[in-house]
Structure 1
Amino acid sequence: MNRYIYLFFICIGLSFSACNEDHLEVKSPDQLTGESFWRNESDAQAGLAAAYSQLECAIEYWSFAEIKFTVELFPSDLVKLGNDALNYEDWFSIFNFNSTAGNTQTSQYWNIHYRGINYANQVIEKVGAMTEEQISTDAKDKIVAEAKFLRAYYHLKLLLNWEKIILRDAYPKGLSSIDKAVSERSECWDFIIADFEAAASKLPESNTVENIGRATKYTALAYLGKANLFCASETTADAKPYYTAAKTAFASVVASGNYSLESSFISMFNGTNQNSDEVLFELQLSTNTDNGAWFKFPYHRWLKPAGLGGWDEIAGSDYLLQEFKKEGKAAIDGRFDHRLYETLFFEDEYFNDDANPRVYGYTFNSWWDWAGAPRNKTGFRKYLPESSEELSMNSIGNNIPLLRYADVLLMYAETLNELDETASAITHINTVRTRAGMPAMTGSSKTEVSNQIEHERVCELAMEGSRFHDLRRWGKLNATMADHGRTGVSDATHFFPIPESETNSNNAID
C-alpha cells in the first residue's frame, strides 16, 4: 500500500464521526460520514489505509523521531543522551525513569496508537457488515484480517510500555462508550493473541508488488509467536502452553521458506535494500511528494552523531560497545562482530583507513576532528542513509524494518530453549551469527544458550526497540540497569503512567 497516499486516507479517517448522541448530530446530504462512507471495496481499502497510517507515530514531520525514538530507545541501557537531548525535560525524564502522566512524548505515543486502534475497529465493524453486492467475501475477509492484525499490533505496543491498558474492541458510538476501565494484563495478552490468530487464518502468504508492506499470514504468525513468548514470561501458572504456541507459530514462519537473512546487514537500514527477503514487516516511507503527500522525515538528523553534523540527541552507550567487543576479533576476517561496524561509528582502524575512508568518504578521526566532536563518542550508523548526499538532506524517506527474520530466529531459539530443546535452539543462533561473520557459539547448556541469546539480541537488534522489554521480561531489568550506570529503575517505573489526557477524559479510570 503506497505510503504516499496515506495523507488522503488519514483525512478520511479523521472525518468519521465516533459519536451519535442526538444533540450532537449535524447531517449534510453531500458529506461523507461514518454511516455513509462504507459503500464498496475502494472505501474499505481507504479505511484500512487510515488504520495503517498511524504505524510508528509516523504522522508528523518533527515529532516522528521525537516520539518513537524517545519512548522506545531512551529507557534502554544501549544508549546515552547527547548534549541537545538534555534541553528537553520530557525526553530527559524518560531516560531517567521519572516521567509523569503529563509527559508529552508518552502521551502522544498513547494517543496515536489508540487512534490506530479506533481506525482498525471501524474497518472490522463496517467492512464486516458489507454485503456481497458491495464487496467480495474474499476481499472482505482479507481486509478485516488486516485490521485485526493492526488492532493487535497497536495493543501490543501499548502493553509493552504500560502496565495496564484499555482494551478497545469496538469504536465508540457515543460519548458514553468512551469511558472504559483498564484491563488486567492477562486479558490483554489473550485479546492480542486471539487477534493475531484470527488475522493469520485469513491473510495471504505473500503480497503483490503494489501491496508491498502490508501484513501477511507470516507477519501475523511471527507476531503471534512474539506475543505468546512475551506472555509466557509473565505467566505465574504454567507457561508451557504459551511457549508451545510460540514454537508452533515461529516454526510455521521458518518452514514457509519465504524469508532468509540478507548478506548485507546494513543494507536493510540505509535505504539500499528495502522490503528485503529478511523483513516480515516494514514501515513504508517515501520521498514521493505527488499531490502534496509528505512521508519523509528528518529522523537521520535526529539520530546521526554530532561528528557528522547531527543534532546530538543520542549515542551508543559504553556497555553497547563493550558487548559488541566481548568476543574479541573472532570474526572470520579477523575483525570484531560485523554488526558492530554496521551499527556504530567508533574510533577503530576499520573507520580510520586512509586508503578506504568509510565514514562518508572520510576517516572517523578526520571528520570528528573537523567537527570538534569528542572521538570517544560512539555514534549510531544504523538507519543513516548510504550516501553523503542523503545524509545532508533535510528529510529522507527510507523504510524502517519493524520485524526481521533474524529476530524471529532468535525468539524461536529462546522458545525452544525454554522447552528444553536446547540443541535445536543453538542451530538458529548460529545461523544469525554466521551472517555476522562470527563462529559457532561455544557452550551447550540451557543457561549458556540463554546468555548467548541475550548477547545476540543486543548485537542484532540494537536501536530496534527490544532491549528494555527483553530485560523486563527476563527479570533482569533492575540489576542490569544498575550495573550499566542507569539509576532510577524500580518496580514502580517499569512502565509509563497512564497519560493525564486519558484520565481526564475517561471517567472509568481513576
Structure 2
Amino acid sequence: MKNIYKLSFIIGMLAITSCKKTFLDLSDPTKKTADKFYQNEQEIQQAVSGAYSSLQDHVNSQYIFAEMSSDNTTIQLDPSDRGQTDRVEAFEFWNVTATNANIADMYNQCYNALYNINYALAKIDGVTAIDAKKKAQYQGELEFMRAYYYFNLVRYFGGVVLITQPLATSSDAFKTVRSSEADVYAQIIKDLTDAAAKLPAKSEYAAADLGRASKGSALGLLGKVYLTTKDYAKATSTLQQVLTLGYSLVGDYASVFDPNNKNNSESVFEVQYQGGNNLGEWSNFIYIFAPRGSEGAVTGFSTSRPQGWNIPTKSIISEFEPNDKRKAVSLKEGYTNAAGTFVGIPFINKYNHPHTIVGRTDDDWPVLRYSDVLLMLAESINEASGPATAYTYINQVRARAGLAALSGLSQETFRTAIRHERRVELAFENDRWFDLKRALTIDQMTALLNAHGQAEKASPTVDRGGVPFAPTDYKFDGYEALYPIPDRQIFLDHNLKQNPGY
C-alpha cells in the first residue's frame, strides 16, 4: 500500500510541503521560483509527486460526469435543500448547460494539472544530475498522466485545446483553439506509447513505489484508447501485452477494493489515498454516496451526514444475475437505522470500509483493473472477428463472480453480453458513460437513456419527497453525449467554439 500526499504545485511559486517517507515525499517547507526549482532528481521527483497528487482532485468528482449521467446512479432529493439543482442534479436529469459550475471546475482542474505536467516535462531534459533510466521513468509517469487527462477530456468534450508545451506568456492562454478529436487521440497514443517504453513493469518497482504508473498502466490505457477509436487490431495486440506482465484476478471480489489490499495483483492503476490521519490525503466516497439520514448506519459514525449522491438505480440493481457474488460487494439495497428499521434506499458499498476518523476513509480509487483489461480484450476480439477466441477472457471474470461460462453466442449477442459484464463488474468505477458512448450509436444511446428516464419518472428509485419532475427532466438529446465547453472559457478566448446544441 502506498500513500500519496498533497503537493501544492503552482508554477511561478512552488509551495513545497513535507509529510513522511513515501514516493511523494517532499523536502522541508520552502518556496522556490520555478526557474530555479528543476535542478536535481529530488526536485524532479517532487514535481512528479505533485502531478500524482492532482489526480485525487480529478477523480473526486468524476462520478458526477461518468456515473450520474448514465443509467447506473441517481440522487436522493432533499426537498429542503435544492442548492445543487443546477450543479449535480443537472447531470442526473441531462439539464447541463455551459454555465454549470461542476463542468467549469472539472475543465479548469484538468488544464491546471496539464500545465504543471507540461512544465515538468519541459524542464526535465535539462536536469543532468539524474540517472538516465530514472529520468525516463519520470518522463513516462508524466506522459501517462497527461494522456489520462486528455483521454477523459476528449471523451467528455470532443476536440479540445491541445497543449503539450508551457505557454510562453499568459496571454497565449487566450489565443488557443480546439484541436480535432483525431489530433487529440494521436497525442494520447503518442504519450502512452512513449510511456510504455519508458516505464518499468509493476513488479520492478520497490514496495515503497507501488502506486506509480507502470508499463502495464500505460499499455492498459492505450488498449482502451484503441478500443475507443475502434482500432480493434491494435487494441487486441496492446491488451495482450498486459497479459504477460504478471497481473491476475484477485480471488475474492471484495478484496479488490479492501484498503488493506491496495495495489494488489489486479490493480493496473489506482489513485492513492490515505485516511486515519490529519495529512489531508484521505478519501470520503462513502460519505458522498451513503443515503441522507443514514448517519452512522452506513459510515459507522453517528455524527456523519452523508450526501445521498450517486445512488444505485433500480436498473443497475436488476442488472445483476441471480447469485452474482459482486452484487453484495458493489451495493446494498438499504440499511437498518438506529431504531432498528430497515430503510430501502440503496447505496454504493464498494468503497465502504472501516476507518478510524469520521469523514476520512482510506479507500483508493480504481482507474484500471485487470478484469477491465480482460473484458476489453474480449470486446476487441469479438469486434474484429467474432467471439470464438474471446470467451476465455470474459469467462475468467464470470467465474470469479460465481456465474456460468458463456458459449455459443453470435457476434451481436456477445456484444450485449460484454456490455452487461462490464456494467456489473465495473459498477460505480466511472466507466458506464464512456462504455455507452463507445458501444452504442448516438441513436441507440438516446433511446436507452430516454427509456431509463421514463422508467425513473414512472417509478423513482428513491422517493422524491413530493418534489415533482420538471418538464425537462430525463429528456436526453443526442448532442448531450458531449458536455458543453464552459461559457467562461469561450468568453475569455473567442477562438473557442461551443459544442452544438448548447
Alignment TM-score, normalising by the size of structure 1: 0.82
Letter in 2 for 1:419: A
Deviations 1:18-47 (A, max 9, x none): xxxxxxxxxxxx962221111001111111
Deviations 1:202-223 (A, max 9, x none): 1101221111111011110000
Instruction: Determine the C-alpha separation between the residues in 2 that align with 1:247 and 1:184.
Output: 25
The match for 1:370 is 339
2:331 is equivalent to residue 344 of structure 1 = yes
Instruction: Determine the C-alpha separation between the residues in 2 that align with 1:14 and 1:79.
Output: 41
- 1:445 is displaced (CA, Å) by 1.5
Letter in 2 for 1:117: L
Deviations 1:92-133 (A, max 9, x none): 1111112112211111111111111111111211002323xx
2:108 is equivalent to residue 114 of structure 1 = no
- 1:419 is displaced (CA, Å) by 1.1
Instruction: Determine the C-alpha separation between the residues in 2 that align with 1:177 and 1:431.
Output: 51
The match for 2:470 is none
SS of 2:35's partner is: coil
The match for 2:153 is 158
Instruction: Determine the C-alpha separation between the residues in 2 that align with 1:268 and 1:14.
Output: 40
Instruction: Determine the C-alpha separation between the residues in 2 that align with 1:140 and 1:272.
Output: 31
- When residues 75 and 288 of structure 1 are mapped into structure 2, their CA distance, relative to the original with a 3 A threshold, is same
SS of 2:288's partner is: helix
The match for 1:10 is 8
Letter in 1 for 2:132: T
Instruction: Determine the C-alpha separation between the residues in 2 that align with 1:184 and 1:480.
Output: 28
2:291 is equivalent to residue 305 of structure 1 = yes
Contact 2:283–2:364 under 8 Å retained in 1: no
SS of 2:339's partner is: helix
1:223 to 192, 216, 221: 221
Instruction: Determine the C-alpha separation between the residues in 2 that align with 1:10 and 1:220.
Output: 26
Percentage of identical aligned residues: 27
2:492 is equivalent to residue 505 of structure 1 = yes
The match for 1:448 is 413
Contact 1:199–1:217 under 8 Å retained in 2: yes
Contact 2:257–2:351 under 8 Å retained in 1: yes
Contact 1:304–1:384 under 8 Å retained in 2: no
Instruction: Determine the C-alpha separation between the residues in 1 that align with 2:193 and 2:253.
Output: 30
Deviations 1:44-95 (A, max 9, x none): 111111111111426xxxxx74x33222221010112112485412111111
Instruction: Determine the C-alpha separation between the residues in 1 that align with 2:105 and 2:10.
Output: 21
The match for 1:91 is 88
* Bigger mean CA deviation after superposition, 308-317 or 87-96: 308-317
2:265 is equivalent to residue 296 of structure 1 = no
* Bigger mean CA deviation after superposition, 467-476 or 199-208: 467-476
The match for 2:251 is 263
- When residues 504 and 53 of structure 1 are mapped into structure 2, their CA distance, relative to the original with a 3 A threshold, is farther
Map of 1:25-104 to 2, 5 A cutoff?
32-57=32-57, 65=60, 67-84=61-78, 87-89=83-85, 90-104=87-101
Deviations 1:305-326 (A, max 9, x none): 344353322321111111113x
Instruction: Determine the C-alpha separation between the residues in 1 that align with 2:276 and 2:309.
Output: 27
Alignment TM-score, normalising by the size of structure 2: 0.83
Contact 1:100–1:497 under 8 Å retained in 2: yes
SS of 2:223's partner is: helix
Letter in 2 for 1:344: L
Instruction: Determine the C-alpha separation between the residues in 2 that align with 1:55 and 1:455.
Output: 29
Aligned pairs, number = 445
2:165 to 170, 192, 195: 170
Unaligned residue ranges in structure 1 (runs of 5+): 18-29, 59-63, 233-241, 330-335, 348-363
- 1:270 is displaced (CA, Å) by 3.8
State the Cα RMSD in Å. 2.3
2:244 is equivalent to residue 274 of structure 1 = no
The match for 2:458 is none
Q: Which has the higher helix share?
A: 1
Instruction: Determine the C-alpha separation between the residues in 2 that align with 1:462 and 1:440.
Output: 20
Unaligned residue ranges in structure 2 (runs of 5+): 16-29, 299-305, 455-473, 498-502
The match for 1:332 is none
Deviations 1:256-301 (A, max 9, x none): 2x11111121222242321110010011101264xx6311133211
- When residues 184 and 436 of structure 1 are mapped into structure 2, their CA distance, relative to the original with a 3 A threshold, is same
Instruction: Determine the C-alpha separation between the residues in 1 that align with 2:412 and 2:65.
Output: 31
Contact 1:274–1:399 under 8 Å retained in 2: yes
- 1:11 is displaced (CA, Å) by 3.8
Instruction: Determine the C-alpha separation between the residues in 2 that align with 1:488 and 1:164.
Output: 25
Contact 2:274–2:283 under 8 Å retained in 1: no
SS of 1:281's partner is: strand
Letter in 2 for 1:383: Y
2:422 to 457, 468, 475: 457
* Bigger mean CA deviation after superposition, 151-160 or 82-91: 82-91
1:382 to 339, 342, 350: 350
2:120 is equivalent to residue 123 of structure 1 = yes
Contact 1:13–1:47 under 8 Å retained in 2: no
SS of 1:272's partner is: helix
Instruction: Determine the C-alpha separation between the residues in 1 that align with 2:225 and 2:56.
Output: 18
Deviations 1:328-348 (A, max 9, x none): x3xxxxxx211111111127x
